[in-house]
Chains A and B, each alone.
Chain A
Amino acid sequence: MSDALAPRGLGRALETFGAWALAIFWVAPLLYCVWTAFHPPEYATKFVLWAPLSVENFVKAWNAAPFARYFLNTFALVTMVLAGQLVLVTLAAYAFARFEFIGRDIAFALVLVQLMIMPDVLLVENYLIMAQLGLVDTILGIGLPYFASAFGIFLLRQTFKGLPKELDDAARVEGAGVLVTLWRVYVPLARPTYIAFGLVSVSYHWNNFLWPLIVTNSVETRPLTVGLRVFTAIEQGVDWSVITAATLMSCGPLLIAFLLFQRQFIQSFMRAGIR
């Protein structure tokens, strides 16, 4: 935006310095991860320039837990949740945006309740429900409470409401049904909102810990976060070398993906509905 008002001279130098100083602090944990993961344990707390390199920590971490499986579980979980959310949220948001139905305001208020009261807060009751449904220790059980996202409904409703109603009518005139109109007209136009919501959803479930910890029991269902907790159980003393190697292995793919696609990612995100 502000090329015309961009800082110059000393101000610019200072701001660049500030930005970089902050960035170094922000990336410090990752830098430490890389340093420690690639060096023998003696160098976990000492930073000597010519310390010998080693990949042994990765071998140890890899053998200590089925990371490939955990990664797969997390991937399945995140994909499933996002897919479920997109479908349910689209339908609900459309109903709120374009239909004046009886009970709409109450229904909308009831949806907004979940904006603040997420399933995480209702751990105990939700566990009991999952046990009754027989969904404890399943990936579906981790994801199901999040399928109907009030956040998504709220966001998408705003976007849908912002679209001109004439588009709707035009489609109707051509004989398109409700779902066809939604699919052909609304969904494509709301793409930026979907991307914004997708980011929130993926990062939330990628990082979610407490609920999956409670509801999973086995390797076949545990997501990465719960698997990584194995290394944070520190009764034998922390082994930073192995922990960092495990962290890098499990977060590496996502980091690399962001590095490669960040330009496209920000650009499509840019036009998202929330502004």
Chain B
Amino acid sequence: MSKARATIYGWLLLGPAFVLLAAFTHWPAIATLYHSFHSTARRNRPSVYVGLDNYQGMIDDPVFWQALINNFWYAVGTIPVSIGLALLMALWVNEKLAGRTWLRLAYFTPTVLPMIAVANIWLFFYTPDYGLFDQIRGLFGLRATNWLGEPGTVLGCLIVMTIWKEAGFFMIFYLAALQSMPPNLAEAAAIEGCGRWTFFRRVTFPLLMPTTLFVLVNAVIGAFRMVDHVVALTAGGPNNASMLLLVMIYDVAFRYWDVAYAATLTVVLLAILGTVALIQFVVLEKRIHYR
């Protein structure tokens, strides 16, 4: 096929998807950047170009820094643990443990329960004194804890919920990968006297690397996108201890109606996500051998 024909076919095939991408990703991203250099229009005060004023305001805004730091810990807390647990779950349900079917179902349930609905169930778990966790702690004579009401524990509580939500979902991908591994590998390893842990470290884990990359991308996105339970439970409180970037953007845009500042914050979020994407696809892809 000639290059010219290939170009016509290529763009015709790509066209529909590309138009939508441009309309709902590229154009909004550029518009966001544009708005971040302008002021928000108010009564008698139309929007004007303000240069870097919005960015200066953002740097001076302690809530922004807190949201950024919280989001960092939120990512650090959720990503490795949910991936590790997902792998562990997959290894377990891949073996012939008693009640494997039920285990799979149990691990998978969070995927079908929307976060907004289960937020209130978790609220019961975290309620001081008669909440589930405190009832259990009470059996051991431990004191009641105001889990969601103390700045020191609230973010951890939300991280636990996110891990709970995501690990079972990631497990499915690991499970699929494990099931497609040739069984003779393990047999050969057993004959050579290779231990289970060594086998996992030397054979299974490297073979799972592409899945890990795939899951990692999803986990990183989740760390910036999964905020439904924050919105429902704490709204970023107490005193911004659980404020995350996307929650803040929502607040600024749809509660304060400060479109310019919301755009500025969005630019930061875009920059973070863009950088992470770059690292993942440039650095990591080199190390992973696709088959």
Contacts and interface: CB of A to CB of B under 8 A. Distances in A.
A and B touch in the complex (CB under 8 A): yes
B76 interface: no
B117 A126 contact: no
Nearest to B270: A117
Contacts of B185: 1
Contacts of B116: 209, 225-226, 228-229, 232
Interface residues of B, number: 122
B7 A101 contact: yes
A214 B70 CA distance: 25
A231 interface: yes
A220 interface: no
**A interface bracket (residues with beta carbon within 8 Å of B):** 35 or more
Interface string A200-211: 100100110110
B149 interface: no
B81 interface: no
Interface string B101-130: 111111111111111111111111101001
Given A203-B169, A258-B112, A266-B104, 18 more contacts: A4-B183, A5-B196, A23-B103, A26-B164, A29-B122, A91-B17, A95-B14, A99-B1, A101-B8, A120-B246, A121-B225, A122-B25, A124-B253, A125-B27, A129-B24, A144-B24, A207-B111, A225-B114
Interface of A: 1-7, 12, 15-16, 18-20, 22-30, 32-33, 44-46, 87-89, 91-92, 94-96, 99-104, 107, 110-126, 128-129, 144-145, 147-148, 150, 153, 158, 162, 178, 196, 199-200, 203, 206-207, 209-210, 214, 224-226, 228-229, 231-232, 234, 238, 240, 243-244, 246-247, 250-251, 254-255, 258-259, 262-263, 266, 269-272, 274-275
21 contacts: A4-B187, A4-B189, A6-B96, A19-B93, A25-B164, A91-B13, A92-B14, A113-B25, A121-B249, A123-B250, A129-B27, A145-B25, A147-B17, A206-B114, A210-B228, A238-B123, A243-B117, A251-B117, A271-B176, A274-B177, A274-B210
